[in-house]
Amino acid sequence: MSQALVNIAYLISALLFVFAFKGLSHPRTAIRGNLLGALGMLIAIVVTLMDKSIVSYELIILGFVIGGVIGAVFALKVQMTAMPQMVALFNGFGGGASALVAALAFIEAMEIGKTIGTQETVATVASGIIGAITFWGSMVAFAKLEGLIEERPIRYKGDQIVKIILAIASIVLGVFFGLEQNINYYWYLIATSAVLGILLTIPIGGADMPVVISLLNSYSGLAACATGFVLNNNVLIISGSLVGASGIILTNIMCKAMNRSFLNVLFGGFGEVVAGADEDKVYGGKVKSASPEEVAMLLENARRVVIVPGYGMAVSQAQFAIRDLMKLLETKGIEVEFAIHPVAGRMPGHMNVLLAEANIPYEKLKEMDEINPTFEQTDVSIVIGANDVVNPLARTDSNSPIAGMPILDVDKSKTVVVIKRSLAPGFAGIPNPLFAADNTLMLFGDAKKMVQELINALKES
Amino acid sequence: MDPFIAVLTIFVLAMIVGFEVITKVPPILHTPLMSGSNAISGITIIGSIIAAGAKYTTLASILGVIAVTFATINVVGGFLVTYRMLKMFQKPKSDQKEKKS
């Protein structure tokens, strides 16, 4: 196949990827978009398999089989609640592959005695650094989300200096690699970047995970992009940029939803903030606990109910019970909608996927800006496993660590029912005055169990 | 045109297209967007295929196989899991189907 034909095929692939992203602009067209993306990938792979420098296919097929089986098993077995760690894991493999391909391109050039220009050298170094950070950062994120290592922020004195030294070391090694044209420097650089990737992710706590996963997503794209500059391959550059842009946009949305700067999430974090408000002062004698029967009576008389899910819903797998509650309320003529905070859960869109899994129509899932004005006309808001995203301190207390964070204004509805195990603080480590508000009833217990008891109570009445 | 300028142009334009297209993705689909874009970042697979098949040195072959494996996990896993998720976003056809699941 001539090079021109190969490049045209790659161009078609790149176009299909753009259409894949375009398809994702609506749930109706999204499946087709995903298929177009897969088709683009297939075309790129088939065309590449015809490359004349390939002398044997055994190793390629071996990699296809092993990778294909692992990927398919993971993808088909994973629970929807475990989607964040799944995405983190896949991200890591993408970044790792990019770093390896850049190294291989260098080894190849050395073998055939091709001189390596500045563009290729710089791109190889970039691919190595970003790829290694992506791989190891993703592995740490995976381990945290899976509960294999401590999810709380882990910090020690002088951690920022260590990171800066590692970053400089990686770049210096990159310069040596360029000057000496010796692959060993590349492996040293991979090692320092790997440690950097681990150290960058270790201090980040659970609720900041949406930002980290988005960022790693962006990195995996940028690593592919850098590899494209190494190989002078357009389809790699284009796809890498698309993915990079996607990750940057998501990172930005997540940061805005927490009213924190990107650097603050990476280098600061809630861990450093001393909790200001005293729990006893906020809760002392004011928290009202209710039984499922009492809440059921409230719901009986409601016209409009808004359900606010948080990470607690994912943990207790309550989405199916919530769907049943929704159906039951609707048969009684009550309007039910869902309020989704952008950072609810552990990754962008986490709650939407879980609710979709339970067959809750996406029209009922409302974004923060859309649902906030409607809380005043809402009779009952049910907060299930969410905390910081409904904390009114964000609006009122400018010294609070979550000051200025956009929240769901559930406190404006007539009655708020909070389903929660205990009064334990959320990720921000601060008490929530919502729980002690006059119009709030606490329903203490596991999310799924409590929703089921609500359903039973509603059926009996 | 200088080849570097050519690839740089492509990079910049692709970034702009990326920002334009992806800002239109609604928050409801952000998780599928991540897993789908993830799969697309597996495009590195084409670089790894050549590296694994060319047989320059033993080291290169071993690294090549690892790269193909990693990238394949990314591509196959990414597209499949995205498909699984997006199927859930389609409207439930009827209550019968729902009871089955």
Q: Under an 8 A CB cutoff, do A34 and B36 touch?
A: yes
Structure confidence at residue B92 (pLDDT): 58
CATH 3.40.50.1220 fits A279-460, yes or no: yes
DSSP secondary structure string, B31-82? HHHHHHHHHHHGGGHHHHHHHHHH---HHHHHHHHHHHHHHHIIIIIHHHHH
Asked if B10 has any chain A CB less than 8 Å from its own CB, the reply is yes
| Helix, strand or coil, per DSSP, at residue A311 | helix
| pLDDT (0 to 100) of residue B95 | 44
B99 close contact with A: CB closer than 8 A: no
Residue A377 has pLDDT above 90, yes or no: yes
**With pLDDT > 90 as the criterion, what percentage of chain A qualifies?**
65
Nearest CA of chain A to the CA of B5: how many Å?
Answer: 10
Asked if residue A426 has pLDDT above 80, the reply is no
Q: In what order do the strands lie in the sheet with A304-309?
A: A365-367, A335-340, A304-309, A380-384, A415-420, A440-444
Query: At residue A274, does pLDDT exceed 60?
Result: no
Task: Say whether pLDDT at A251 is over 50.
Answer: yes
Q: Identify the active-site residue in A208, A388, A409, A411.
A: A388
Chain B: closest CA distance from residue A88 (Å): 9
Distance in angstroms (rounded) separating the CA atoms of residues B36 and B32: 6
Phi, psi of A180 (to 5 degrees): -85, -15
The residue among B70, B90, B97 with the most chain A CBs within 10 A of its CB, best to mutate, is B70
Give CA–CA dist A236/A227, Å, rounded: 7
Judged by CB atoms closer than 8 Å, whether chains meet at A75 and B27 is answered as no
Q: Hey, which residues 13-42 in chain B have their CB within 8 Å of chain A?
A: 14-15, 17-19, 21-42
Interface check for B3 against chain A (CB to CB < 8 A): the answer is yes
* Domain residue limits at B44: 3-89
Contacts of B10 in chain A (CB under 8 A): 234, 237-238
Do A225 and A219 contact (CB within 8 A), yes or no? no
Query: Which pLDDT does position B100 carry in this prediction?
Result: 41
Which residue is listed with tokens 């970034």?
B15
* Residue % of chain B over a pLDDT of 70: 88
- φ, ψ at A367 (rounded to 5°): -75, 165
Tens digits of residue pLDDT in A60-105: 999 999 999 999 999 999 988 889 999 999 999 999 999 999 999 9
Give the count of Cβ contacts less than 8 A between chain A and B: 371
* Residue B74 forms part of a structural domain: yes
Who among B10, B53, B91 is closest to A54 (CB)?
B53
- In this prediction, residue B101 carries a pLDDT of 41
Show which of residues 108-127 on chain A sit within 8 Å of chain B, judged by CB atoms. Answer: 108, 111-112, 119
Q: How far apart, in Å, are the Cα atoms of A229 and each of A125, A126, A127, A172, A350?
A: 11, 10, 9, 20, 34
Which of A25, A91, A340 lies closest to B38 in CB terms?
Answer: A91
Looking at residue A159, what is its pLDDT? 77
- Region A334-351 average pLDDT: 91
pLDDT for residue A273 = 47
Q: What is the rounded average pLDDT for all residues in chain A?
A: 90
Interface membership of A241 toward B (CB under 8 Å): yes
Of B31, B85, B92, the CB nearest to A359: B92
CA angle A279, A285, A288 (to 5 degrees): 100
The better pLDDT of the pair A75, A151 is held by A75
Query: CA-CA distances (angstroms) from residue A14 to A20, A185, A234, A249, A405?
Result: 10, 33, 8, 20, 38
- Amino acid A203: pLDDT: 83
B9 at interface of A, judged by CB pairs closer than 8 A: no
Q: Which pLDDT score is estimated for A1?
A: 65
What per-residue confidence (pLDDT) applies to A284?
78
Chain A residues within an 8 Å CB radius of B47: 98, 101, 104-105, 227, 231, 233, 236
**Across A107-117, average pLDDT:** 85
Rounded CA-CA distance A459/A408 in Å is: 30
pLDDT in tens, A23-53: 999 999 999 999 999 999 999 999 999 988 8
In a domain, B20, yes or no: yes
Question: pLDDT tens for residues A156-176?
Answer: 777 788 888 999 999 999 999
CA-derived radius of gyration, chain A: 25
Which residue in the set A31, A233, A243 is minimally distant from B41, CB to CB? A243
Average pLDDT rounded to a whole number, residues A223-234: 93
**pLDDT class of A296 with cuts at 50, 70, 90:** very high
CB–CB of A347 and B80 under 8 A? no
pLDDT reading at B94 higher than 70: no
Assigned token pair, A52: 């004349």
- pLDDT tens per residue across span A378-416: 999 999 989 889 999 888 888 777 888 899 999 999 999
Whether residue A294 has pLDDT greater than 60: yes
A438 noted as active-site residue: no
DSSP per-residue string spanning A123-155:
HHHHHHHHHHHHHHHHHHHHHHHTTSS--S---
Q: Does the distance separating the beta carbons of A66 and B33 come in below 8 Å?
A: no
pLDDT at residue A277 in the model: 55
Chain A residues closer than 8 Å to B82 by CB: 34
More confident residue, B57 or A185: A185
Section B64-75 average pLDDT: 95
Contact B87/A at CB under 8 A: yes
Rounded to the nearest angstrom, the minimum Cα separation between B18 and chain A is: 5
What pLDDT shows up at residue B59? 87
Contacts of A236 in chain B (CB under 8 A): 43-44, 46-47
Identify the pLDDT of residue A399.
79
Is B56–A365 a contact, with Cβ atoms under 8 angstroms apart? no
Least confident of A185-189, A429-433, B36-40: A429-433
Tens digits of per-residue pLDDT, B16-58? 999 999 999 999 999 999 999 999 999 999 999 988 888 778 8
What integer pLDDT is reported at residue A276 of this predicted model?
A: 52
CB of A253 within 8 Å of a chain B CB? The answer is yes
Residue window 39-68, chain A: list those with CB within 8 Å of chain B: 40-41, 44-45, 48-49, 51, 53-57, 59-60, 62-64, 66-68
**Residue A339 DSSP SS3:** strand
Which region among A90-104, A280-294, B1-15 has the lowest average model confidence (pLDDT)? A280-294
Domain count, chain B: 1
